[in-house]
Amino acid sequence: MKLTHSALALVLSVFGTSALSGCDLQRLAADQTAEIADRGSLGFNGFWDYDIFGKAVPSAILQSEALIRISPDNEKMRTGLARTYVVYAYGWLSDEWETADQRGDFERADELEKRIMLLYKRATAHGLHVVKRHADEHFEALLNARIELIGQASSDPNTSGPTGSYVLLMGHYRL
């Protein structure tokens, strides 16, 4: 019985000290999860089954978005999530868009194009969040202007589909 009370006292003192010192255990856990994901990301890059990977990516995106709410300034998490959005938009949805467009299912192609542009926009926002943390005021104004252009890219008649819009935007408009 004495051992149980001692163990309980130790646990309470650790948590009490953490709480009083301002230690955010959720943020610590989120940051550690991001570190593990970053270190393990090379395993994802060479995953052998295209279908399994494609079905798992949306779950990874949702989990990462939840972790960013807990630790919004974690740069590894944000850049990894930005990369995941682009991989999913380009590697999976753009393929579906092209197939729908080629078979003449323009309604589906339009839906996919809007979705792809939203994914690219979200990826860009995460990447720019990281850049903004290190930017001065002048550079921040330029970054905000670029975010505005992303919304305009999908309506540009000179681009070829959603990926073309994004590539044109990122390649043509230099900071």
Q: Identify the pLDDT of residue 145.
A: 73
Q: State both tokens at 11.
A: 């646990």
Residue 75: burial class (beta carbons within 10 Å; 0-12, 13-18, 19+): middle
Q: State both tokens at 85.
A: 């959005």
Of 80, 28, 36, the residue nearest 57 (C-alpha): 80
Of 20-34, 65-79, 144-158, where does the model show the most confidence?
Answer: 65-79
Q: State both tokens at 3.
A: 């051992």
Q: CB-hemisphere CA count at 13 Å for 155?
A: 5
Q: Identify the pLDDT of residue 22.
A: 53
Q: pLDDT tens, 122-137? A: 999 998 888 888 777 6
Of 112, 126, 122, the residue nearest 150 (C-alpha): 122
Hunting for tokens 């467009």 — which residue is that?
Answer: 101
- pTM for the full model? 0.65
Q: Are 42 and 29 in contact (CB under 8 A)?
A: no
- In degrees and rounded to multiples of 5, residue 127 shows phi and psi of -65, -45
The DSSP letter of residue 74 is -
Give the domains, in start order, of the chain with CATH numbers.
24-172 (1.25.40.920)
Q: pLDDT tens, 13-68? A: 444 444 444 567 777 767 766 676 666 566 666 677 888 888 989 998 999 999 89
Write the CB contacts of 98 (distance below 8 Å, at least 6 apart in sequence): 161
